[in-house]
Amino acid sequence: MRHGARFCGMAIGLALAGCQGVAPGAACPLPGQQLQMGLKLYFGRDIPGGGFVSDQDFAGFAARVLTPAFPDGLTVHEGLGQWRNPETGHVVRERSFVVEIYGPVSPAGVAAVVNAYRTQFRQISVGQVTQEVCAAF
């Protein structure tokens, strides 16, 4: 699934190249903040050929795959979006799970999460957006 007005297709090896974010060399505006990687993943809930990723299905995926990949924390919320299926050219509207992660991100870890979801739920893609942000936790 693909989303976002400032979608940066994440060729993770290029990490932040070309993504909008904090200007290089800029200081963070609030005390205690540090420059960090921001990552959003968009997991579509419709299963091609029929079916739906339930809340329970995603909770199991999060426990087995997401939490071990991002042990420092993440936020999950629901989304409603659309994207153009590259195989059919049709616009697909569907509910999704949006996962936000801020902090160190391993390109291999992200790839493993994306591949696991695509395989388990027969997805064509998982939307991925990166951005350099100022954050404090």
Strand ranges for 2-136 from DSSP E: 34-44, 75-84, 91-102, 127-135
How far apart are the C-alpha atoms of 117 and 126, rounded to whole Å? 8
Mean of pLDDT values over 70-80: 95
pLDDT in the model for residue 97: 98
Would you say the C-alpha torsion 39, 119, 9, 87 has a positive or negative sign?
negative
- Locus of tokens 């999704």: 96
pLDDT in tens, 123-136: 999 999 999 999 99
17, 107 contact by CB (below 8 A) = no
pLDDT in tens, 82-123: 989 888 999 989 999 999 999 988 999 999 999 999 999 999
Residue boundaries of the structural domains of the chain: 31-135
Residue 58: pLDDT band by 50, 70, 90 thresholds? Answer: very high
How far apart are the C-alpha atoms of 122 and 75, rounded to whole Å? 23
Mark out the alpha helices in the chain (DSSP H runs): 55-61, 67-69, 107-120
Residue 9: pLDDT band by 50, 70, 90 thresholds? Answer: very low
Residue 22: pLDDT band by 50, 70, 90 thresholds? Answer: low
pLDDT in the model for residue 85: 86
Mean of pLDDT values over 44-69: 96
Domain 31-135: state its class: alpha beta
Mean of pLDDT values over 21-49: 88
Look at residue 24 and tell me whether its pLDDT is greater than 90. Answer: no
- Residue 63 DSSP code: I
